[in-house]
Homo-oligomer: A and B are copies of this chain.
């Protein structure tokens, strides 16, 4: 392993000078900088992240805190895109990523959670889809031990940023799109979990829309479960002209229930997952670019770690209509 020491010797400068070049310190003369860079290239030197982390107490290491939803493949799809987006951006910013699942933190006290992350050397944490009632996590983000970026939870602070799409507007948009071709005057809205942050936003969008357009609106909670959406559809669908769901998974559940009932109702989803292509019928849905959302979360975290204040970041969404032909390749 070629170390900074070798580079220093090869370039004929001091170790500390090499370090300064590596870390882009301002006060290094062009001349020596070139010498060092040449030596680095010739020796194929790459800094040892471990040593760097130990020395600087700044690991540049971030944790992704994700929900792992076994048995529903939609959750996998989203989580995987989150992971991929984060890892790739992290690599560009030469940050280090460790993936953690909620299940690994269950029944741990805040102190234990803190220690866990500390020993892992993480300095920033991205929390995906935090629940409003997750006390441990809420306490955690209030400690100043780490920097946080919350995806889909609109909490900000000096060391907390939030990243998400405009859920309220997106929810309105997808219904308006559907209304172009269909009767949406009587809406059955199948919301997510009552304790989810996005749930409130999306419901707010629906209420606003109903008011503006004079639609009738019935709200029920499907808990983001395909099965529950199916049951709710079987029970209520007949009385409404359209079914709007807060997730694609629920939309698929609703659609298949409708097919079983042999009645037609337009269905809207939310998320834009590939699985929609297998639903049997096309539906309008909001497409969230999860990879990009996650990548932006990393970028935000980088900023926080560099001393910036937390902020709220709203990313764009789009509307799509997915069909089988589009999702296979």
* Residues in chain A within 8 A of chain B (CB atoms): 1, 44, 46-51, 53-54, 59, 68, 70-73, 76-77, 79-81, 83-84, 87-88, 91, 96-101, 104, 111, 115-116, 118-121, 225-227, 230, 252-253, 256, 273-275, 278-280, 324, 327-329
Q: In the complex, which residue of chain B has the Cβ closest to the Cβ of A253?
A: B328
Q: Are B72 and A84 in contact, with the CB atoms below 8 A?
A: no
With beta carbons under 8 angstroms apart, the residue of B47, B73, B121, B329 that contacts A274 is B73
Closest CB in chain B relative to A281 CB, distance in Å = 12
Q: Are A46 and B115 in contact, with the CB atoms below 8 A?
A: yes
Closest CB in chain B relative to A119 CB, distance in Å = 4
Q: In the complex, which residue of chain B has the Cβ closest to the Cβ of A64?
A: B99
Q: Are B72 and A87 in contact, with the CB atoms below 8 A?
A: no
Q: Are A329 and B72 in contact, with the CB atoms below 8 A?
A: yes
A83: B residues at CB distance < 8 A: 83, 99
Q: Are B96 and A97 in contact, with the CB atoms below 8 A?
A: no
Closest CB in chain B relative to A275 CB, distance in Å = 6
Q: Are A99 and B97 in contact, with the CB atoms below 8 A?
A: yes
The answer for the CA separation of A322 and B226 in the assembled complex, in Å, is 16
The answer for the CA separation of A53 and B49 in the assembled complex, in Å, is 11
Closest CB in chain B relative to A251 CB, distance in Å = 13
Closest CB in chain B relative to A237 CB, distance in Å = 17
A280: B residues at CB distance < 8 A: 280
Closest CB in chain B relative to A59 CB, distance in Å = 7
A227: B residues at CB distance < 8 A: 328-329
Closest CB in chain B relative to A325 CB, distance in Å = 9
Q: Are B49 and A121 in contact, with the CB atoms below 8 A?
A: yes
**Which of A50, A96, A101 has the most CB atoms of chain B within a 10 A radius of its CB?**
A50
